[in-house]
Amino acid sequence: MSDSLPAGVERRTFDGRERLATEGETVYGEPTDAGWRAWDAGRSKLGAMLELGVETGLAGGETVLYLGAASGTTVSHVADFAGPTYAVEFAPRPARDLVGVAEDRTNLFPLLKDARKPETYAHVVESNVDCIVQDVATRGQATVALRNEQFLAEDGYLLAAVKARSEDVLADPDDVFEAVTEELKEGYEILETARLDRFHDDHLGVVARPK
């Protein structure tokens, strides 16, 4: 386990408890302190990966493609420490909130698109992004990562949260994780995996880079 946090992410004390935090406008009623907003690992798989000391390769200032942005809880923190951040979400309702989150962040670009169809946003997202963060909670999570690999720089990172139940509600999560990582290996080298259960039941965090 390491404790390397990207620049722009700090451990700060809120109500006597040390938590991750980024600097920016509040989004979801999170506690703040002098402009820093607590980043709730229980509501964010990427937050959980950082909290658990997963080596994400993030240094701060990266160009990020975020798949499955929902209403912007996690991607708002990402945009606080990253550079240009493209946020893909296909459900109109959360995407409306995401647009509101982007109004306070000039580097956050919401895209109402289906992450299984990268050709529909390839003209908008710059090539050679430093990092893909994926949290789509849908069947075919490995396929989504493989289809979007085209955007990733050769030395870029995929940071994916794999939800076992989205692939198969009945299967043993370990079997699902095995199958998903095997499929990911068609295009990626897996650098690290970590169960996120302390914060998110039956989720696996995956760090990978293009092969």
> Binding-site residues for S-adenosyl-L-methionine, please?
73-74, 89-90, 114-115, 135-138
CA 84 to chain centre: 14
Pair 151, 125: CB distance under 8 Å:
yes
Least distance from ligand SAM to the Cβ atom of residue 161, Å: 8
Alpha helix stretches (DSSP H) within the chain:
45-51, 73-81, 92-103, 141-148, 164-167, 173-184
Amino acid at 35: G
Nearer to ligand SAM, 8 or 154 (CB): 8
Least distance from ligand SAM to the Cβ atom of residue 1, Å: 22
> Hey, what are 3's tokens?
């404790």
90 φ/ψ sector (left φ>0, alpha ψ -120 to 50, else beta): alpha
Helix (H) or strand (E) holding 34: none
Interacting residues toward ligand SAM by CB under 6 A: 44, 68-70, 73-74, 88-91, 94, 114-116, 135-138
What's the half-sphere exposure (Cβ side, CA atoms, 13 Å) at 194? 24
Least distance from ligand SAM to the Cβ atom of residue 209, Å: 21
Nearer to ligand SAM, 34 or 123 (CB): 123
> Hey, what are 7's tokens?
């620049």
Residues in the chain: 211
- What is the SS3 assignment for 97? helix
Least distance from ligand SAM to the Cβ atom of residue 94, Å: 5
Least distance from ligand SAM to the Cβ atom of residue 163, Å: 7
